[in-house]
Amino acid sequence: MRIAFLGTPEFALPSLEMLRESGHELAVFTQPDRPVGRHATLTPPPTKAYALEHGIPVYQFEKIRLPEGVDALKAFAPDLMITAAFGQLLSAENLAISKYGCINVHGSLLPKYRGAAPIQWAIIDGETETGITTMMTAIGMDTGDILLVDKLTIDPDETAGELFERMAVLGAETLRRTISALEAGTLVRIPQNEAQAIKCPMLKKEHGKLDFSQTATAVHNRVRGTNPWPGAFALLDDVPLKIHKTRKTEQPVGDEPVGILKGSAKSGLFVRCADGWLEILELQATGGKRLAAKDYLAGKTLEGKVLI
């Protein structure tokens, strides 16, 4: 089948690789190269790098719904379009180009967690289950008919980055089954229940700010859900302190104020939340390296200081 693959980050790579290995004729449509890192080095999207390595044509557009994007898709004349974390909304003109329409590989159990960061928000919200939904792309944010669903359990200490990797692999398998059903003529479309829809916004840096007046579970989930980006943080003496990894504890609590720290290089570092103590396992001071909390505390103490 002749397939236009619209995808950008690492999440899309297993699906793209599956399509290539299955023998489909491909072209990759992706975002422009972006500056990355401290030196703002212009860097291609992962899907572009993969495509160039394997001799797949690549087209990059800031907005594929503009005439030049529409013309490029029409010139390729795909039988099917597939999107996987593409990062742009498609127009009705885009969606009308291919014979079989456009299938999206989405990282949630739709209609829950429509939007740009479904994997992260599922963790932040304390969900214990998520999955991949393939759907027919429609005008609107993740509103199209559901095709196939594969579920996945979220581990209680799993970070968004770790879950991303598992979800990407699952996404390729769900997409493979979806295309097989499409080719066999057995694919069934199920309209979404709008009453069950949950929208999730794109993550911003401020979403990483921790609030210790919440439960230890809620704080732990936000640390997990914002790892690796934008990263969880709190203020220590009015200076941001990044918190990369935490662990729930069963330590008894008294009348300590929320946000107060206790511990040592020997015992570890703990912060008081609304209903208990949360252990801080890895942290990073501004301008410093990421360290285990016990290493960070070597030769210093945070006992009695307060995170806000």
pLDDT bracket for residue 194 (50, 70, 90): very high
Q: What is the pLDDT of residues 218-254, one digit of tens each?
A: 999 999 999 999 999 999 999 999 999 999 999 999 9
Domains in the chain with CATH codes: 2-200 (3.40.50.170), 205-296 (3.10.25.10)
* Buried-exposed string 240-269: b where 16+ CB fall within 10 A, e elsewhere: ebbbbbbebeeeeeeeeebbbbbbebeebb
| Average pLDDT of the residues in 273-277 | 97
Average pLDDT of every residue of the chain: 97
Contact present, 172 and 86 (Cβ < 8 Å): no
Distance of alpha carbon 301 from alpha carbon 285, whole angstroms: 14
Q: Which residues contact 133 (CB under 8 A, 6 or more apart)?
A: 106, 108, 109, 110, 146, 147, 148, 149, 174
Identify any residues that bridge with 135 across adjacent strands, giving them in sequence order: 104, 146
- Residue 154 carries which DSSP code? P
- Residue 230 carries which DSSP code? T
| Average pLDDT of the residues in 162-184 | 98
| Average pLDDT of the residues in 140-158 | 97
Contact present, 73 and 97 (Cβ < 8 Å): yes
Task: Give residue 81's region: left, alpha or beta (phi > 0; psi -120 to 50).
Answer: beta
